Amino acid sequence: MLEETYQLHEFEDATVFWFISKGEKGDITKVILFTPKEGNVWNLGFGDYYEGAVHDGIISNNRDLRKVMSTVAKATYEFFTTHPNQIISFSLLTIAEEISTT
């Protein structure tokens, strides 16, 4: 079962989603992108929407990580509902130390 999520907005046949993170640093627009790679493999991209682009290297640290990640999980579920039998690939950046020290 998912935890509490943000309201999710879907575009482009469940391949682009956005939501607003609300926390200590105010409202931050987040974007989730599913882009085709090869065959039935898709890349999951995620980041802050800033100055007209999605930035996956920004650590906004709005103190709502659980809710944000639950919202990304919800978007992934919606993606698979529209695009069954697909594979999602992604790589993670290790940012735990940076989050805990800011």
- Is residue 3 included in any domain, yes or no? no
- Is residue 1 included in any domain, yes or no? no
Please tell me the total count of domains within the chain: 1
- Is residue 82 included in any domain, yes or no? yes
Q: How many CA atoms lie within 13 A of 101 on its CB side?
A: 4
- Is residue 2 included in any domain, yes or no? no
- pLDDT tens-place string over residues 3-44: 899 999 998 889 999 999 999 999 999 999 999 999 999 999
- Is residue 4 included in any domain, yes or no? no
Structure tokens at 53: 């682009």
* Alpha-carbon span 10 to 40, nearest angstrom: 21
* Alpha-carbon span 18 to 71, nearest angstrom: 10
- pLDDT tens-place string over residues 36-69: 999 999 999 999 998 889 888 888 999 999 999 9
- Is residue 47 included in any domain, yes or no? yes
- Is residue 23 included in any domain, yes or no? yes
Range of the domain at 26: 9-101
